């Protein structure tokens, strides 16, 4: 007879239901109460576990996937990791087409999770047959029984958050949430979560975080897709040079833009002050909160939920590398804390 053992059957049971954690120190000087939904607690260390699992299980429900089928996506980031992890557990092959801009660390990480990685030239346009978009499309067409996740243009992306992240936040705050502040990349997180929350209480303010160099804020305000807004920036996962159909602009009240430099310092500060080792965009979202506070957005009755999308371990050679920070000129300003010197004892 099987004995009662309190174990999960597999990692997938741990996706979602992430903790909501009160921010004590980083928000100490701000008016209101601030809580972080810490998505780094997912087994794949980011919010992308939710969408990868939801989209894959939806494909299973629709009979599109069988044992040994192939799952394809264009990503070197968190979504790739989540798909690779889920593919291992469910017995699928995972192919990821990534840009040659992706760091070697990221490519090694995906390969160590069993993914087959195609590295495609970064300097070609999206419709060039060598681009990672076109390579993924072609692999999907050529591989029988494959699915293409296509997170920027897949409605199931925001639906995953509508069904999980939104209800979790509503329950965890007992309905007392007044503001949601979240990054927008594909827009899936903010759109799905905000749609659910606004259905419960239409007065909840929803603020999206965008990057300088991205088109989202201007598109939201004017309806214009302005390519003049586009220039390179360093934060990964936030903002975009196209308009994703996965974003529901109607449920977002306002966008706010943040800089690479301030976001990097703020992420490091969250780690140092809260003991929460978070990624670059968590710094971006907290930086946005600071800007919103200056604009008079909050008062003592505000209950603000911010989403911290991923874990700091993904950024060891970026924001958590003093050398990288120095190379970007991020220590040049007088107002920033100098990095700690490493002491080598003899």
Q: Decide if residue 238 touches ligand PMP (CB under 6 A).
A: yes
Count of C-beta atoms within a 10 Å radius of residue 104:
9
Of 40, 44, 80, 185, which lies in the binding site for ligand PMP, with binding defined by CB under 6 A?
A: 185
Site mask, ligand PMP, residues 273-312, x = CB under 6 A?
------x-x---------------------------xx--
Q: Decide if residue 237 touches ligand PMP (CB under 6 A).
A: yes
- Contact 308/283 with Cβ under 8 angstroms? no
Q: Decide if residue 166 touches ligand PMP (CB under 6 A).
A: no
Count of C-beta atoms within a 10 Å radius of residue 155:
15
48 tagged catalytic: yes
**Residue written as token pair 């833009």:** 257
Structure token digits, residue 12:
């997938």
Tell me how far apart the alpha carbons of residues 303 and 184 are, in angstroms, rounded to a whole number. Answer: 21
Span near ligand PMP by CB under 6 A; candidates 136-144, 172-180, 183-191, 222-230: 183-191
Q: Decide if residue 80 touches ligand PMP (CB under 6 A).
A: no
Span near ligand PMP by CB under 6 A; candidates 66-74, 84-92, 164-172, 178-186: 178-186
Q: Least CB distance from residue 259 to ligand PMP, whole Å?
A: 16
Q: Decide if residue 77 touches ligand PMP (CB under 6 A).
A: yes
| Of 44 and 77, CB closest to ligand PMP | 77
Closest-CB residue for ligand PMP? Answer: 237
Tell me how far apart the alpha carbons of residues 207 and 252 are, in angstroms, rounded to a whole number. Answer: 6
For the chain, what's the residue count?
A: 346
Torsion of CA 279, 282, 284, 286, to 10 degrees: -140
* CB-based burial label for 252 (10 Å; 0-12, 13-18, 19+): buried
Q: How many residues bind ligand PMP (CB under 6 A)?
A: 16
Q: Decide if residue 207 touches ligand PMP (CB under 6 A).
A: no
**Residue written as token pair 């991020």:** 330
Tell me how far apart the alpha carbons of residues 77 and 225 are, in angstroms, rounded to a whole number. Answer: 25
Q: Least CB distance from residue 291 to ligand PMP, whole Å?
A: 17
Structure token digits, residue 75:
């990503």
**Residue 308 CA to its chain's centroid (Å):** 8
Q: Decide if residue 78 touches ligand PMP (CB under 6 A).
A: yes
Structure token digits, residue 102:
């992706």
Catalytic one among 37, 48, 198, 240? 48
Q: Decide if residue 187 touches ligand PMP (CB under 6 A).
A: yes
Tell me how far apart the alpha carbons of residues 254 and 288 are, in angstroms, rounded to a whole number. Answer: 11
* 3-class secondary structure, 211: strand
Q: Decide if residue 16 touches ligand PMP (CB under 6 A).
A: no
Q: Least CB distance from residue 82 to ligand PMP, whole Å?
A: 10
| Of 33 and 43, CB closest to ligand PMP | 43
Residues near ligand PMP, by CB under 6 A: 77-78, 183-190, 237-238, 279, 281, 309-310
Active-site amino acid positions: 48
């Amino acid at each position: 007879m099987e004995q009662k053992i309190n174990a999960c059957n597999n990692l997938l049971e741990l996706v979602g239901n992430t903790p909501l954690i009160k921010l004590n120190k980083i928000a100490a000087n701000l008016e209101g109460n601030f809580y972080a939904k810490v998505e780094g607690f997912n087994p794949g260390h980011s919010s992308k576990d939710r969408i990868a699992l939801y989209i894959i299980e939806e494909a299973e429900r629709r009979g599109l996937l069988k044992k040994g089928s192939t799952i394809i996506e264009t990503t070197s980031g968190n979504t790739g990791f989540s798909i690779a992890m889920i593919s291992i557990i469910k017995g699928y092959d995972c192919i990821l087409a990534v840009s040659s801009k992706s760091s070697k660390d990221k490519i090694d990480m995906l390969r160590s999770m069993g993914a087959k990685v195609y590295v495609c030239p970064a300097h070609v346009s999206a419709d060039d047959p060598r681009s990672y978009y076109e390579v993924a499309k072609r692999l999907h067409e050529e591989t029988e029984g494959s699915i293409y996740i296509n997170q920027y243009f897949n409605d199931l992306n925001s639906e995953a958050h509508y069904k999980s992240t939104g209800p979790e936040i509503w329950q965890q705050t007992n309905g007392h949430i007044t503001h949601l502040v979240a990054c927008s990349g594909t827009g899936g997180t903010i759109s799905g979560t905000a749609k659910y929350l606004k259905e419960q209480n239409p007065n909840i303010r929803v603020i999206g975080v965008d990057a300088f160099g991205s088109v989202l804020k201007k598109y939201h305000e004017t309806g214009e897709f302005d390519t003049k807004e586009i220039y390179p920036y360093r934060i990964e996962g936030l903002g975009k040079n196209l308009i994703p159909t996965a974003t529901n602009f109607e449920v977002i009240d306002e966008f706010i833009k943040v800089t690479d430099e301030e976001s990097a310092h703020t992420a490091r500060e969250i780690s140092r002050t809260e003991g929460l080792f978070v990624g670059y965009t968590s710094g971006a979202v907290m930086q946005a909160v600071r800007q919103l506070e200056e604009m008079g957005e909050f008062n003592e009755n505000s209950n603000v939920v911010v989403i911290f999308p991923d874990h700091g371990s993904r950024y060891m050679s970026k924001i958590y590398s003093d050398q990288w920070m120095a190379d970007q000129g991020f220590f040049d300003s007088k107002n920033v804390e100098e990095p700690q010197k490493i002491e080598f004892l003899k």
